[in-house]
Amino acid sequence: MAKKIVNSVRLGVFVLSGLAFLILLLFMIGRNKSLFGSTYLLKAKFENVQGLIPGNNVRYSGIQAGTVKNIKIVNDTTIEVSMMIDTEMQDIIRKDAIASIGTDGIVGNKVINIVPGKEHAELAQEGDVIFSKKPIDTDAILQKLSNTNNDISEIVSGLKLTVQQINNSTALWELLNDETLPKEIHQSAVNLRLTTSRAGMMADDLHTIIAEMKAGKGSVGMLLKDTSFAYNLNEAVLKMNKVGSQADRLTTDIGTIVKGIQQDVNSGKGPANAFLKDSVMVKNLNTSIDNLRKGTDGFNQNMEALKSSFLLRGYFKRQERNNQAEKPIK
Protein backbone atom coordinates (compact mmCIF):
# COMPACT_ATOMS: atom_id res chain seq x y z
CA MET A 1 0.00 0.00 0.00
CA ALA A 2 2.76 2.37 0.96
CA LYS A 3 4.64 1.42 -2.20
CA LYS A 4 1.67 2.40 -4.37
CA ILE A 5 1.42 5.77 -2.59
CA VAL A 6 5.12 6.45 -3.25
CA ASN A 7 4.74 5.57 -6.92
CA SER A 8 1.67 7.80 -7.20
CA VAL A 9 3.57 10.67 -5.60
CA ARG A 10 6.49 10.20 -7.97
CA LEU A 11 4.14 10.14 -10.94
CA GLY A 12 2.39 13.29 -9.75
CA VAL A 13 5.71 15.09 -9.24
CA PHE A 14 6.85 14.05 -12.73
CA VAL A 15 3.63 15.23 -14.35
CA LEU A 16 3.70 18.53 -12.47
CA SER A 17 7.35 19.06 -13.43
CA GLY A 18 6.65 18.36 -17.07
CA LEU A 19 3.65 20.66 -17.00
CA ALA A 20 5.69 23.45 -15.39
CA PHE A 21 8.44 23.02 -17.97
CA LEU A 22 5.88 23.15 -20.77
CA ILE A 23 4.34 26.33 -19.37
CA LEU A 24 7.78 27.91 -19.01
CA LEU A 25 8.67 26.90 -22.58
CA LEU A 26 5.45 28.38 -23.93
CA PHE A 27 6.06 31.56 -21.99
CA MET A 28 9.58 31.91 -23.38
CA ILE A 29 8.41 31.29 -26.94
CA GLY A 30 5.48 33.63 -26.51
CA ARG A 31 7.66 36.40 -25.13
CA ASN A 32 10.13 35.96 -27.97
CA LYS A 33 7.32 36.05 -30.54
CA SER A 34 5.51 38.92 -28.83
CA LEU A 35 2.56 36.71 -27.98
CA PHE A 36 2.44 38.16 -24.53
CA GLY A 37 2.66 41.76 -23.55
CA SER A 38 1.34 44.86 -25.29
CA THR A 39 2.42 45.69 -28.87
CA TYR A 40 1.61 48.22 -31.57
CA LEU A 41 1.48 47.91 -35.35
CA LEU A 42 4.01 49.30 -37.83
CA LYS A 43 4.16 48.66 -41.58
CA ALA A 44 6.77 48.70 -44.30
CA LYS A 45 6.56 48.14 -48.05
CA PHE A 46 9.03 46.16 -50.18
CA GLU A 47 9.37 45.08 -53.79
CA ASN A 48 10.64 41.63 -52.77
CA VAL A 49 10.52 40.02 -49.31
CA GLN A 50 12.94 37.22 -50.30
CA GLY A 51 11.31 34.43 -48.30
CA LEU A 52 10.20 36.48 -45.29
CA ILE A 53 7.28 34.77 -43.47
CA PRO A 54 5.00 35.72 -40.57
CA GLY A 55 6.63 35.04 -37.24
CA ASN A 56 10.13 36.13 -38.32
CA ASN A 57 11.88 38.48 -35.95
CA VAL A 58 12.01 42.26 -36.18
CA ARG A 59 15.11 43.94 -34.77
CA TYR A 60 15.88 47.55 -34.02
CA SER A 61 19.62 48.29 -34.17
CA GLY A 62 20.25 44.59 -33.55
CA ILE A 63 17.87 44.37 -30.54
CA GLN A 64 14.77 42.20 -30.61
CA ALA A 65 11.82 44.57 -31.08
CA GLY A 66 8.94 42.45 -32.38
CA THR A 67 7.77 39.95 -34.97
CA VAL A 68 6.29 39.89 -38.47
CA LYS A 69 2.49 39.64 -38.18
CA ASN A 70 1.29 39.58 -41.75
CA ILE A 71 2.53 39.82 -45.36
CA LYS A 72 0.14 41.16 -48.02
CA ILE A 73 0.62 41.72 -51.74
CA VAL A 74 -0.63 45.22 -52.62
CA ASN A 75 0.14 45.12 -56.34
CA ASP A 76 2.63 43.59 -58.76
CA THR A 77 5.48 45.74 -57.44
CA THR A 78 4.57 46.31 -53.77
CA ILE A 79 4.37 43.95 -50.80
CA GLU A 80 3.17 45.27 -47.44
CA VAL A 81 4.65 43.77 -44.27
CA SER A 82 2.87 44.29 -40.95
CA MET A 83 5.01 44.13 -37.80
CA MET A 84 3.99 43.83 -34.17
CA ILE A 85 6.44 46.01 -32.21
CA ASP A 86 6.84 45.98 -28.44
CA THR A 87 5.35 49.10 -26.86
CA GLU A 88 8.61 49.77 -25.04
CA MET A 89 10.07 50.67 -28.46
CA GLN A 90 7.31 53.22 -29.13
CA ASP A 91 9.38 56.05 -27.64
CA ILE A 92 12.39 55.07 -29.75
CA ILE A 93 11.30 54.23 -33.31
CA ARG A 94 10.60 57.36 -35.40
CA LYS A 95 8.72 57.84 -38.64
CA ASP A 96 11.88 58.20 -40.72
CA ALA A 97 13.33 54.89 -39.50
CA ILE A 98 14.38 52.57 -42.33
CA ALA A 99 13.46 48.88 -42.50
CA SER A 100 15.37 46.32 -44.53
CA ILE A 101 15.24 42.56 -44.94
CA GLY A 102 18.28 40.58 -43.91
CA THR A 103 19.31 37.10 -42.87
CA ASP A 104 19.90 35.81 -39.36
CA GLY A 105 23.45 34.59 -39.98
CA ILE A 106 24.61 33.29 -43.35
CA VAL A 107 21.87 30.72 -44.01
CA GLY A 108 19.46 31.53 -41.15
CA ASN A 109 15.90 32.80 -41.17
CA LYS A 110 14.94 36.11 -42.68
CA VAL A 111 14.63 39.07 -40.31
CA ILE A 112 13.60 42.70 -40.59
CA ASN A 113 16.26 45.13 -39.42
CA ILE A 114 15.17 48.65 -38.49
CA VAL A 115 17.82 51.36 -38.30
CA PRO A 116 17.22 54.65 -36.47
CA GLY A 117 16.16 57.81 -38.22
CA LYS A 118 16.91 61.40 -37.29
CA GLU A 119 16.40 62.54 -33.70
CA HIS A 120 14.13 65.49 -34.60
CA ALA A 121 11.64 63.34 -36.55
CA GLU A 122 8.27 62.45 -35.01
CA LEU A 123 7.79 59.14 -33.23
CA ALA A 124 6.08 56.38 -35.20
CA GLN A 125 2.48 55.72 -34.14
CA GLU A 126 0.10 52.82 -34.48
CA GLY A 127 -0.34 51.84 -38.15
CA ASP A 128 2.37 54.13 -39.54
CA VAL A 129 4.32 53.04 -42.63
CA ILE A 130 8.04 53.53 -42.20
CA PHE A 131 10.62 53.77 -44.96
CA SER A 132 12.16 50.67 -46.46
CA LYS A 133 15.35 49.83 -48.29
CA LYS A 134 15.78 47.37 -51.13
CA PRO A 135 17.10 44.13 -49.63
CA ILE A 136 20.38 42.61 -50.69
CA ASP A 137 19.81 39.88 -53.26
CA THR A 138 21.66 36.97 -51.68
CA ASP A 139 20.89 34.75 -54.66
CA ALA A 140 22.65 37.22 -56.97
CA ILE A 141 25.59 37.38 -54.58
CA LEU A 142 25.81 33.60 -54.48
CA GLN A 143 25.61 33.50 -58.28
CA LYS A 144 28.46 36.01 -58.53
CA LEU A 145 30.46 33.98 -56.04
CA SER A 146 29.80 30.88 -58.11
CA ASN A 147 30.96 32.66 -61.29
CA THR A 148 34.02 33.95 -59.45
CA ASN A 149 34.75 30.45 -58.23
CA ASN A 150 34.56 29.17 -61.81
CA ASP A 151 36.91 31.93 -62.97
CA ILE A 152 39.34 31.10 -60.18
CA SER A 153 39.21 27.44 -61.16
CA GLU A 154 40.09 28.35 -64.75
CA ILE A 155 42.94 30.59 -63.57
CA VAL A 156 44.28 27.83 -61.31
CA SER A 157 44.10 25.35 -64.18
CA GLY A 158 45.99 27.77 -66.41
CA LEU A 159 48.62 28.35 -63.73
CA LYS A 160 48.98 24.62 -63.22
CA LEU A 161 49.53 24.13 -66.96
CA THR A 162 52.05 26.98 -67.02
CA VAL A 163 53.95 25.50 -64.09
CA GLN A 164 54.03 22.12 -65.82
CA GLN A 165 55.38 23.69 -69.01
CA ILE A 166 58.04 25.53 -67.00
CA ASN A 167 59.05 22.33 -65.22
CA ASN A 168 59.30 20.48 -68.54
CA SER A 169 61.30 23.25 -70.27
CA THR A 170 64.96 22.22 -70.29
CA ALA A 171 65.99 25.40 -72.14
CA LEU A 172 64.52 27.58 -69.40
CA TRP A 173 66.32 25.69 -66.65
CA GLU A 174 69.57 25.83 -68.60
CA LEU A 175 69.11 29.58 -68.91
CA LEU A 176 68.40 29.94 -65.20
CA ASN A 177 71.41 27.79 -64.31
CA ASP A 178 73.74 29.83 -66.52
CA GLU A 179 76.16 31.55 -64.13
CA THR A 180 77.17 34.18 -66.69
CA LEU A 181 73.60 35.38 -67.22
CA PRO A 182 73.44 37.60 -64.09
CA LYS A 183 76.73 39.26 -65.03
CA GLU A 184 75.52 39.92 -68.56
CA ILE A 185 72.24 41.32 -67.28
CA HIS A 186 74.14 43.52 -64.85
CA GLN A 187 76.44 44.76 -67.61
CA SER A 188 73.45 45.43 -69.86
CA ALA A 189 71.86 47.44 -67.06
CA VAL A 190 75.09 49.43 -66.62
CA ASN A 191 75.30 50.12 -70.36
CA LEU A 192 71.65 51.14 -70.43
CA ARG A 193 72.26 53.48 -67.50
CA LEU A 194 75.25 55.05 -69.27
CA THR A 195 73.29 55.42 -72.51
CA THR A 196 70.44 57.04 -70.64
CA SER A 197 72.86 59.41 -68.90
CA ARG A 198 74.47 60.38 -72.20
CA ALA A 199 71.10 60.89 -73.81
CA GLY A 200 70.18 63.15 -70.90
CA MET A 201 73.40 65.15 -71.35
CA MET A 202 72.73 65.48 -75.08
CA ALA A 203 69.22 66.65 -74.34
CA ASP A 204 70.59 69.24 -71.89
CA ASP A 205 73.11 70.46 -74.46
CA LEU A 206 70.42 70.70 -77.11
CA HIS A 207 68.22 72.60 -74.70
CA THR A 208 71.10 75.00 -73.98
CA ILE A 209 71.72 75.55 -77.71
CA ILE A 210 68.05 76.23 -78.35
CA ALA A 211 67.93 78.60 -75.38
CA GLU A 212 70.97 80.49 -76.71
CA MET A 213 69.40 80.67 -80.16
CA LYS A 214 66.21 82.07 -78.65
CA ALA A 215 68.30 84.58 -76.70
CA GLY A 216 70.00 85.70 -79.93
CA LYS A 217 73.41 84.26 -79.11
CA GLY A 218 75.69 82.83 -81.80
CA SER A 219 75.54 83.38 -85.54
CA VAL A 220 72.26 81.50 -86.02
CA GLY A 221 70.71 83.21 -83.03
CA MET A 222 71.87 86.58 -84.29
CA LEU A 223 70.40 85.80 -87.69
CA LEU A 224 67.08 84.84 -86.11
CA LYS A 225 66.86 87.63 -83.52
CA ASP A 226 69.04 90.56 -84.68
CA THR A 227 67.07 92.49 -87.29
CA SER A 228 69.98 94.84 -87.97
CA PHE A 229 72.22 91.87 -88.76
CA ALA A 230 69.70 90.56 -91.24
CA TYR A 231 69.40 94.03 -92.78
CA ASN A 232 73.18 94.41 -93.09
CA LEU A 233 73.43 90.96 -94.60
CA ASN A 234 70.77 91.88 -97.12
CA GLU A 235 72.62 95.10 -97.99
CA ALA A 236 75.89 93.18 -98.41
CA VAL A 237 74.26 90.77 -100.81
CA LEU A 238 72.79 93.64 -102.81
CA LYS A 239 76.21 95.30 -103.03
CA MET A 240 77.81 92.03 -104.08
CA ASN A 241 75.20 91.69 -106.82
CA LYS A 242 75.92 95.26 -107.90
CA VAL A 243 79.67 94.62 -107.94
CA GLY A 244 79.07 91.48 -109.98
CA SER A 245 77.03 93.44 -112.53
CA GLN A 246 79.73 96.10 -112.73
CA ALA A 247 82.39 93.41 -113.17
CA ASP A 248 80.38 91.92 -116.04
CA ARG A 249 80.10 95.32 -117.71
CA LEU A 250 83.79 95.96 -117.13
CA THR A 251 84.67 92.65 -118.74
CA THR A 252 82.49 93.53 -121.72
CA ASP A 253 84.12 96.94 -122.07
CA ILE A 254 87.60 95.44 -121.81
CA GLY A 255 86.64 92.87 -124.43
CA THR A 256 85.52 95.68 -126.72
CA ILE A 257 88.76 97.58 -126.17
CA VAL A 258 90.83 94.47 -126.79
CA LYS A 259 88.91 93.77 -129.95
CA GLY A 260 89.60 97.28 -131.19
CA ILE A 261 93.27 96.92 -130.37
CA GLN A 262 93.42 93.63 -132.24
CA GLN A 263 91.86 95.30 -135.28
CA ASP A 264 94.50 98.07 -135.11
CA VAL A 265 97.23 95.51 -134.86
CA ASN A 266 95.88 93.49 -137.75
CA SER A 267 95.59 96.60 -139.89
CA GLY A 268 99.01 97.92 -138.82
CA LYS A 269 97.53 101.32 -138.00
CA GLY A 270 96.76 103.37 -134.94
CA PRO A 271 98.65 104.15 -131.77
CA ALA A 272 97.89 100.73 -130.37
CA ASN A 273 99.96 99.14 -133.15
CA ALA A 274 103.01 101.12 -132.17
CA PHE A 275 102.32 100.60 -128.49
CA LEU A 276 101.95 96.82 -128.81
CA LYS A 277 105.21 96.46 -130.69
CA ASP A 278 106.81 96.86 -127.30
CA SER A 279 107.08 93.19 -126.19
CA VAL A 280 107.39 94.02 -122.49
CA MET A 281 104.27 96.13 -122.53
CA VAL A 282 102.39 93.46 -124.45
CA LYS A 283 103.42 90.85 -121.93
CA ASN A 284 102.29 93.01 -118.99
CA LEU A 285 99.02 93.76 -120.67
CA ASN A 286 98.34 90.08 -121.32
CA THR A 287 99.16 89.29 -117.71
CA SER A 288 96.76 91.98 -116.48
CA ILE A 289 93.98 90.73 -118.72
CA ASP A 290 94.56 87.18 -117.56
CA ASN A 291 94.46 88.27 -113.91
CA LEU A 292 91.28 90.21 -114.51
CA ARG A 293 89.67 87.16 -116.11
CA LYS A 294 90.71 84.96 -113.19
CA GLY A 295 89.38 87.52 -110.72
CA THR A 296 86.05 87.64 -112.53
CA ASP A 297 85.83 83.84 -112.58
CA GLY A 298 86.66 83.69 -108.86
CA PHE A 299 84.03 86.28 -108.09
CA ASN A 300 81.42 84.30 -110.05
CA GLN A 301 82.37 81.15 -108.15
CA ASN A 302 81.96 82.99 -104.85
CA MET A 303 78.55 84.19 -105.92
CA GLU A 304 77.53 80.63 -106.82
CA ALA A 305 78.77 79.44 -103.40
CA LEU A 306 76.72 82.15 -101.68
CA LYS A 307 73.66 81.04 -103.65
CA SER A 308 74.18 77.52 -102.29
CA SER A 309 74.54 78.71 -98.67
CA PHE A 310 71.54 77.83 -96.45
CA LEU A 311 71.62 81.37 -95.02
CA LEU A 312 71.24 83.13 -98.43
CA ARG A 313 69.53 80.47 -100.52
CA GLY A 314 66.07 81.88 -99.81
CA TYR A 315 67.15 85.40 -100.68
CA PHE A 316 68.55 84.46 -104.11
CA LYS A 317 65.44 82.44 -104.90
CA ARG A 318 63.28 85.47 -104.13
CA GLN A 319 65.54 87.60 -106.34
CA GLU A 320 65.16 85.15 -109.24
CA ARG A 321 61.39 85.15 -108.85
CA ASN A 322 61.35 88.97 -108.79
CA ASN A 323 63.58 89.16 -111.90
CA GLN A 324 61.36 86.72 -113.75
CA ALA A 325 58.28 88.71 -112.76
CA GLU A 326 59.89 91.96 -114.02
CA LYS A 327 60.77 90.50 -117.46
CA PRO A 328 58.32 91.65 -120.16
CA ILE A 329 56.08 89.02 -121.66
CA LYS A 330 56.92 88.48 -125.33
Residue 322 included in any domain: yes
Quickly state the pLDDT bin for 165 (edges 50, 70, 90).
confident
SS3 of residue 315 by DSSP: helix
Average pLDDT in the chain: 76
Residues 257 and 66: their CA atoms lie apart, in Å, by 135
Residue 64 included in any domain: yes
* Residue that is last in its domain, among 111, 136, 161: 136
Same domain assignment for residues 17 and 75 = no
* Residue that is last in its domain, among 101, 118, 136: 136
| Per-residue pLDDT, 256 | 78
| Per-residue pLDDT, 279 | 62
As separate numbers, helices (DSSP H) first and strands (DSSP E) second, the chain gives 9, 7
Residue 261 included in any domain: yes
Same domain assignment for residues 254 and 306 = yes
| Per-residue pLDDT, 312 | 60
Between the alpha carbon of residue 328 and those of residues 214, 241, 316, 317, 324, the distances in Å are: 43, 22, 20, 19, 9
Same domain assignment for residues 85 and 101 = yes
Are 81 and 27 contacting, i.e. CB atoms less than 8 angstroms apart? Answer: no
List pLDDT tens digits, range 20-44.
777 776 656 555 544 555 899 999 9
Of 90-94, 97-101, 186-190, 326-330, the one with minimum mean pLDDT is 326-330
Q: Report the pLDDT averaged over residues 300-310.
A: 66
Q: Look at 267 and 156; give whichever has higher pLDDT.
A: 156
Q: Report the pLDDT averaged over residues 318-330.
A: 64
Cβ partners under 8 Å of residue 304, min gap 6: none
Q: Look at 311 and 92; give whichever has higher pLDDT.
A: 92
pTM above 0.75, yes or no: no
Same domain assignment for residues 24 and 111 = no
List pLDDT tens digits, range 106-128.
777 899 999 998 778 889 999 99
Quickly state the pLDDT bin for 188 (edges 50, 70, 90).
confident
Instruction: Specify the number of domains making up the chain.
Output: 3
Between the alpha carbon of residue 8 and those of residues 17, 19, 21, the distances in Å are: 14, 16, 20
Residue 61 included in any domain: yes
Residue 175 included in any domain: no
Same domain assignment for residues 311 and 233 = yes
- Going by C-alpha positions, the residue among 71, 66, 70, 81 that lies closest to residue 35 is 66
